[in-house]
Amino acid sequence: MRANVDEGSQRRGRVAGEGVAAIAAWVVIAMASSVAWAQPAPAPSPKPIDSAAEPPASSSEVGTSPTPEPQPGEPPASSPEEGAASTSGVQPEEPQAPGPRAGRYQIGPFYLTPSFKIGTIGMDTNTLYTPSGPRADMTASGGPGLEIVLPVWRALRLRGNGALTYLYFLRTASERRLMGSGSGRCEWDGVRTGVALEASMARQRARPSLEVDQRVLYTDTMHRVSLRRTLFGLTRLQLSGQHDRREVDAGEEEYGVDLRRAMTHEDYRLAADLDYGLTVKTSLAATYEHMRDRFPYLAGRDTDRDRLMGGVRTDATALVSGEAMAGVQWVRPHGGSPASRPRAVCDVDALLNLSVKTHIGGSYRRDYSFSMLAPSAETPSVLTETIGARLDKDLVGALNFQAFARRMRLWDDGTLSLVLPGGQTYSGTRRDTADEVGADLGYRFRGHLRLGVAASYLKRRSTVSYFGIQGLLVGLSARYNP
């Protein structure tokens, strides 16, 4: 049976590799086509880079921002004839503002939006996250991205995204890796009703969490269906079903733990989200999620979870935008362990928009997830708390300053059995606290290209002395959005 599972995983790995290669070819060909033959689509002035984004972290993550949905319950715009008070006859009709564009360039019925992102290009003083004798190396990451939109009929659209990222180290060849992602979406985005079917795949080599120090090679896949409906007034209901799978490559191991067995899992999720609008910009929200977690190589970790949360959400145009949600989570293991007591969870992310040029943000997140180092416990989970702050300030002209600070705390729920370098063994609990700060001073060129000088510093303390690390990343950053 195990051999069959391994063969199936190898086949999925080969399919994932072929998928990444196809994504790469698609992105390169489409971007070449857009440069050679595309004409800019008639549209309003180009949208500037989002000034509220956090400075780039040490590893590049390429993606596209979601298209904003129309506000439910918003009154329709009045026609030019309504309310026209004139005693001198009929007034000429006012010109209507152009609608939102579907893409930067148009080729026949297709709309294309290319992008290019470069992570920090500079020096990483602790490439491998080692507590002693850290290895310093020059690093860079970046790659192209492309979004293609095909309007089909009225509010029906087909949307595809692809991106490539190459992670490069000058001396540490083992850490170099080409990564890719792709997604497809079919959506009906009506004023009162929205339906979407989507799927995505991403091939990554990254540190999946603060708990794991080495970069792990894995493939993520996702399938999702969602329904959004405005019930009455400013009240909106959204239902969704989602399937996620993370497949870790064979041979990935850390501290004597087989990460493939511990991290490979599937997640089946049903969710309901209810928004009750107090005003056009503020709403009360309640969410319920039922999750089924399945581990193909460690069936004893299979678990069902339920989560109920409530709170407040505000629109992106409000003085304080974001959401504040809190609630409880119940866990029911399948391995014969009793169900755990309700656990408090929280997710707060708010942005204070002082002016067009000044944005101050804060966040707090408390959540439970499965431990990647597989401790022995009734519920082998890990509690993670993250508190952060960020600043985005336009200084003079196109000069922009971004800064962030965050503290992350990690508690493993159970006893770990680890084999440390040098043959030492450790058996016990683990409690980590990591502090990270960063800043980025950049200049925007015509609203699309941003070049900057960035630096970030990370220090982690742990009850296990070997896990105490620190590192500095400093260099150049670049980001291009058409």
**Structure-token pair, residue 409:** 């705390």
Residue 462 is assigned to a structural domain of this protein: yes
Domain of residue 316 covers 2-42+104-480
How many Å separate Cα 261 from the centre of its chain?
Answer: 24
**Structure-token pair, residue 19:** 């998928």
Residue 78 is assigned to a structural domain of this protein: no
Mean pLDDT of the chain: 80
**Structure-token pair, residue 199:** 């799927």
Cα separation, 223 vs 13, whole angstroms = 18
Question: What is the pLDDT confidence band of residue 338, given thresholds at 50, 70 and 90?
Answer: low
**Structure-token pair, residue 462:** 């742990």
Cα separation, 346 vs 44, whole angstroms = 39
Q: What is the pLDDT of residues 103-156, one digit of tens each?
A: 888 999 999 999 888 887 899 999 988 888 889 999 999 999 999 999 999 899
Compute the 3-state secondary structure of the chain and give helix, strand, coil in percent, each to the nearest 5.
Answer: 10, 55, 35
Residue 64 is assigned to a structural domain of this protein: no
Residue 92 is assigned to a structural domain of this protein: no
Q: What is the pLDDT of residues 57-106, one digit of tens each?
A: 433 333 333 334 444 334 444 433 333 333 334 344 334 344 567 888 89
pLDDT at 340 over 70: no
Q: Cα-flanking dihedrals φ and ψ of residue 400, to 5°?
A: -130, 140
Q: What is the pTM of this model?
A: 0.74
pLDDT at 45 over 60: no
Residue 62 is assigned to a structural domain of this protein: no
Residue 89 is assigned to a structural domain of this protein: no
Nearest by Cα to 245 from 269, 264, 224, 271: 264
Question: What is the pLDDT confidence band of residue 376, given thresholds at 50, 70 and 90?
Answer: low
Q: What is the pLDDT of residues 238-278, one digit of tens each?
A: 999 999 999 999 989 888 888 998 889 999 999 999 999 99
Residue 14 is assigned to a structural domain of this protein: yes
Scanning the structure block, which residue is given the tokens 């928004």? 275
Scanning the structure block, which residue is given the tokens 């921002």? 65
CATH number at 475 reads 2.40.170
Assign 3-class secondary structure to 145-163: EEEEEEEEECCEEEEEEEE
Cα separation, 39 vs 366, whole angstroms = 47
| All residues at 6 or more sequence positions from 335 whose CB lies less than 8 Å from its CB, including other chains | 300, 301, 302
Residue 178 is assigned to a structural domain of this protein: yes
pLDDT at 422 over 50: yes
Domain count, the chain: 1
CA separation, residue 396 to residues 118, 399, 448 (Å): 24, 5, 17
Cα separation, 306 vs 291, whole angstroms = 6
Gyration radius of the chain's alpha carbons: 24
Look at residue 426 in the predicted model and tell me its pLDDT. 84
